[in-house]
């Protein structure tokens, strides 16, 4: 491992399985056979787990499990409470609270400097918070650091695989850090390399891979030990559209193989957030501006779709009125034969307006209906474009 910040695994001692928590050692040994086996390990017995949990809760002085379940729902994989990180006088993460459900893909979307990486580093225990806390797979990030690290996989923003090792060697080193060895390790490596489409390249030196392949190797490494939660910091930044698409599809396959896998990813690409995330938070200046499903965030906008209709002749005031009564908002006529307005997504006013105009004797030359994007959502909260921030 060349980078000391390569991920939580880097800080874990290399060594035999028996050095690990017995509940972890059990699932490391318990390698499910065959294709499509679950990524998530079989849980430790309910009793020992509940006991350990109760102890941890008592030590942490936190809400009881029951209280938390009432608050967040029984299926929370991550619960973040007023998490704050200051660097000197600057606040990178400012009292952020949210929760991620088991099996959910949760996005942190925001411009450069929004605090995304800092938040990920706090949740993966690479940085201590200034105040507030979070629980990852029910382990407190302050008091249960090792347990958190074992439950998670991370793919950081930087390239952290060793460029002088082969694809296989990179995974082998990683596996050994988690106490994997022998046949178990070999099986895991094969499964992960097949999942990311790099099995045929196992003998290739990492620096000879393309950017997209290197990224896929990073991801294979992040999931090698079957984490229940995967943290991805900008998984596709800098990749060409084809590689981005391949990685998106790979996440889809991984979720299909293990519906309980929770993924937290950061991005400043709205299309990526839109495509991958079940829910997302839009971050700016260390704070969450809004949170919800991509669809609900877009629907929440006062005005959503932008409609432009060009006709073969000037639109009369009476006909303009007919379009307005459909519910068109912010109507303007940049030219006498053009109607521009906005509508709520899903209202289909654009099509109906074109129909109304045709019924009134116009010929529609152009009809453009542009769906709102998460970019518009960001703009509505900040008055700035995501990419210009
Ligand atoms: N170790 C550090 N010391 C001081 N300031 C830091 C440190 N790490 C991050 N910051 C500051 O915290 C803020 C948030 O940075 P962070 O890297 O979390 O942003 P980000 O959302 O990941 O941005 P990007 O999209 O560029 O990756 C920035 O203002 C950054 O300068
Ligand atoms: Mg970042």
Tell me which of 57 and 384 has the higher pLDDT: 384
Per-residue DSSP letters for 47-98?
HHHHHHHHHHHHHHT---HHHHHHHH-TTEEEEEEEEEEEETTEEEEEEEEE
Per-residue confidence (pLDDT) for residue 181, from 0 to 100: 93
Q: Is domain 302-371 in CATH 3.40.50.2000, yes or no? A: no
pLDDT tens digits for range 163-179:
999 999 999 999 999 89
Q: Which CATH class is domain 8-292?
A: alpha beta
Q: In the Cβ-directed half-sphere of 216, how many Cα atoms lie within 13 Å?
A: 28
Number of H helices, E strands in the chain: 14, 14
Helix/strand/coil percentages in the chain, nearest 5: 40, 25, 35
Rounded to the nearest 10°, the torsion over CA 160, 164, 166, 171 is -30
Summarised one tens digit per residue, pLDDT across range 322-376 is 999 999 877 878 899 999 887 876 778 999 999 999 999 999 999 999 877 888 7
Please check the confidence at residue 196 and state whether its pLDDT lies above 70: yes
Residue-level pLDDT at 85: 98
Atom 16 (ligand 1) nearest CA: 115
pLDDT of residue 1: 38
- Atom from ligand 1 closest to the CA of residue 120: 18
On the question of pLDDT at 304 being above 70, the answer is yes
How far, in Å, from the CA of 134 to the mean position of ligand 1? 19
**Closest residue to atom 31 of ligand 1, CA basis:** 113
Q: Which two tokens mark 2?
A: 């060349």
Ligand of minimum distance to the alpha carbon of 389: 1
Edge-to-edge, what's the strand order for the sheet holding 287-292?
Answer: 152-155, 229-233, 262-267, 105-109, 279-284, 287-292
Pocket test for ligand 1, best of 115, 121, 235, 266 (most atoms within 8 A of CB): 115
> Is the C-beta atom of 118 inside 6 A of ligand 1?
yes
Please report which ligand is nearest the Cα atom of 387: 1
Residue 295 pLDDT > 80: yes
Confidence label for 23 from pLDDT (cuts 50, 70 and 90)? very low
202 band by pLDDT with thresholds 50, 70 and 90: very high
Q: Which atom of ligand 1 is least distant from the CA of 88? A: 4
Taking the centre of ligand 1 as the mean of its atom positions, its distance from the CA of residue 66, in whole angstroms, is: 35
The model's confidence at residue 39, banded by pLDDT at 50, 70 and 90, is very low
Ligand 1 atom nearest the C-alpha of 93 is 14
Query: What secondary structure letter does DSSP report for 344?
Result: -
Would you say the pTM of this structure is higher than 0.75?
A: no
Give yes or no for residue 285 CB within 6 A of ligand 1: no
DSSP-derived letter for residue 384 is S
Q: Would you kindly state where each structural domain of the chain is located, as residue ranges?
A: 8-292, 302-371
Ligand 1 in reach of 115 Cβ (< 6 A): yes
Q: Is 110 in the pocket of ligand 1 (CB under 6 A)?
A: yes
- Give distance in angstroms: CA of 255 to centre of ligand 2: 24
Which has the higher per-residue pLDDT, 251 or 60?
Answer: 251
Which of 40-54, 238-252, 258-272, 325-339 is predicted most confidently?
258-272
Report whether pLDDT(62) > 80: no
Does any ligand 1 atom lie closer than 6 A to the CB of residue 117?
Answer: yes
Query: What are 183's two structure tokens?
Result: 């046949």
According to the model, what pLDDT value does residue 182 have? 94
- Confidence band for 316, pLDDT divided at 50, 70 and 90: very high
Atom 28, ligand 1: residue with shortest CA distance: 113
Q: Is the pLDDT of residue 100 over 90?
A: yes
Ligand whose nearest atom lies closest to the CA of 112: 1
What pLDDT is stored for residue 379 in this prediction?
77
């Amino acid at each position: 491992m060349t980078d000391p910040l390569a991920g939580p695994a880097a800080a874990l001692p290399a060594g035999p399985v028996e050095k690990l928590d017995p509940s972890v050692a059990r699932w490391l040994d318990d390698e499910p056979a065959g294709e499509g086996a679950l990524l998530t390990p079989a849980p430790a017995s309910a009793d020992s787990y509940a006991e350990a949990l109760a102890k941890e809760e008592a030590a942490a002085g936190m809400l009881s499990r029951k209280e938390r379940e009432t608050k967040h729902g029984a299926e929370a994989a991550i619960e973040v409470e007023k998490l704050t990180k200051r660097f000197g006088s600057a606040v990178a993460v400012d009292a952020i609270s949210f929760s991620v459900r088991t099996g959910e893909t949760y996005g942190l979307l925001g411009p450069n400097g929004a605090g995304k990486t800092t938040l990920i580093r706090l949740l993966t225990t690479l940085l201590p918070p200034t105040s507030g806390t979070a629980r990852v797979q029910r382990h407190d990030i302050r008091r249960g650091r090792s347990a958190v690290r074992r439950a998670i996989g991370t793919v950081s923003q930087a390239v952290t695989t060793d460029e002088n090792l082969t694809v296989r060697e990179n995974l082998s080193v990683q596996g050994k850090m988690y106490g994997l060895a022998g046949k178990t390790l070999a099986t895991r490596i094969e499964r992960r390399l097949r999942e990311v489409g790099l099995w045929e390249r196992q003998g290739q030196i990492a620096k000879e891979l393309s950017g997209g392949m290197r990224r896929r190797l990073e991801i294979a490494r992040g999931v090698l030990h079957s984490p229940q939660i995967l943290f991805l910091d900008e998984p596709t930044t800098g990749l060409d559209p084809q590689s981005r698409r391949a990685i998106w599809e790979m996440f889809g396959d991984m979720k299909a193989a293990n519906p309980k896998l929770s993924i937290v990813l950061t991005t400043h690409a709205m299309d990526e957030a839109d495509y991958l995330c079940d829910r997302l938070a839009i971050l700016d200046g260390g704070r969450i501006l809004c949170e919800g499903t991509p669809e609900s965030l877009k629907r929440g906008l006062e005005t959503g779709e932008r409609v432009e209709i060009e006709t073969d002749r000037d639109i009369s005031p009476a006909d303009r009125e007919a379009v307005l009564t459909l519910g068109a908002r912010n109507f303007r006529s940049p030219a006498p034969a053009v109607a521009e307005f906005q509508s709520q997504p899903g209202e289909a006013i654009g099509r109906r307006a074109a129909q109304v105009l045709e019924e009134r004797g116009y010929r529609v030359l152009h009809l453009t209906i542009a769906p709102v994007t998460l970019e518009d959502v960001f703009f509505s909260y900040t008055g700035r474009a995501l990419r210009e921030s």
